[in-house]
Structure 1
Amino acid sequence: MSDTHVSTLQLGATRSFAGLMELYENNYIYLRRLVPDLDRSQDAATSKVTGAVDLHMEVLDRHAYTTSLRLTHRFSHADEPEVTPNLMLRVYHDARVAEVLPESWLRGFRYWSFRELPPVGALAWRWEVNRFLNRWLRYCLGEGHAFAIDWAAQPALRPQARRWAG
């Protein structure tokens, strides 16, 4: 990824559909740095970094062209653990994009609880939550998080699994 893309996104590029697609592409790049091979990843894994909060990943489903997963931090408190941001993501392998699923908001994603957001699924909503994902993925990578791959494991079975060259 070139610095031009990061700068464009950091400056709050035009919140157009084309700009959103660029954001999805950047999210995919960062997510693949965090989880280098989703086909070989465990269905549940934890990334532990000294001095940082553990990052948890759970694969929710695997299909021929998509993988859905949940990423979250779990903070320990005296009463009960806090799971936040608790994002559900969908990775589109053929298009090489990743996005936050609306279910993340519906399941209690509380980052924006102090202000109003556009209706779930609207372009403006997708911009807000995916820009948050972009920054959070960069933060997690900066902390040193990554999910190790078991190279001896067989790739996850996908119906008519796809991998196009290039």
Structure 2
Amino acid sequence: MVLQTRANPLESPDQGSFAALMELYEMNYIYLRRLVPQLDGRRDAQVSSVDRGPDLHLEVTERCPYTTSLLLTHRFEARDGEESLPDLRVRIYHDARVAEVMAEFPPAAPALLWRWESNRFLNRWLRYCLGEGHAFDANNDRPVVERPQARRWAV
């Protein structure tokens, strides 16, 4: 008996297709749930710190029966204060178990390509954050600081 494993949509020949995008959304959901295991509303703003690298900030911006929208960003020191980069808005669809970047794409850009690129970035960034040891714990007592002005960041 041969076990079949799912191909990584980032490396599949169907990369950029609608089917691969749906797989990417599923992977993003899995990584987000590893990063944020508790989305029960007790802490709608949290900070994850690791020994090396910038803090990772999470802010839940909307709760609905089947979805949760949130902001994820790193904070960096800038000449004129702090800066949030990347500054991604993500929507989690709990019933479908998928997560996608919520971004306005330029009118001239093909929607599928834009979604593929922005969600591929989210996927790689989530893997990086998890690899660095970031995690959001519902019992974290660290005070949450206000989010600095975010710079527009194109994927």
TM-score grouping bracket, smaller chain normalisation? 0.7 to 0.9
Residue 118 (structure 1) aligned with residue 119 (structure 2): no
Equivalent pairs: percent with the same residue? 60
1:2-151 equivalence runs, <5 A: 4-6=6-8, 8-11=9-12, 13-40=14-41, 42-103=43-104, 118=109, 122-150=111-139
**Residues 132 and 41 (structure 1), Cα distance of their counterparts in 2 relative to 1, 3 Å cut:** farther
Shift of 1:84: 0.6
Partner-residue secondary structure (3-state), 1:76 = strand
Normalized per residue, the structure richer in helix is 1
Q: Work out the CA distance in 2 between the residues paired with 1:46 and 1:143.
A: 14
Q: Work out the CA distance in 2 between the residues paired with 1:126 and 1:41.
A: 31
Q: Work out the CA distance in 2 between the residues paired with 1:25 and 1:72.
A: 21
Q: Work out the CA distance in 2 between the residues paired with 1:130 and 1:77.
A: 27
Shift of 1:118: 1.9
Q: Work out the CA distance in 1 between the residues paired with 2:48 and 2:40.
A: 17
Shift of 1:102: 1.5
Q: Work out the CA distance in 1 between the residues paired with 2:135 and 2:45.
A: 13
Q: Work out the CA distance in 1 between the residues paired with 2:41 and 2:61.
A: 14
Consecutive unaligned residues in structure 1, runs of 5 or more: 107-116, 152-166
Partner-residue secondary structure (3-state), 1:9 = coil
TM-score normalised by L of structure 2: 0.79
Partner-residue secondary structure (3-state), 1:52 = coil
Aligned CA-pair RMSD: 2.3
How many equivalent pairs are there?
136
TM-score normalised by L of structure 1: 0.74
Q: Work out the CA distance in 1 between the residues paired with 2:138 and 2:14.
A: 34
Q: Which runs of 4+ in 1 moved over 3 A?
A: 2-6, 10-13
User: Is the CA contact (8 Å cut-off) linking 2:38 and 2:137 kept in structure 1?
Assistant: no
Normalized per residue, the structure richer in strand is 2
Q: Work out the CA distance in 2 between the residues paired with 1:14 and 1:29.
A: 19
Shift of 1:15: 1.4
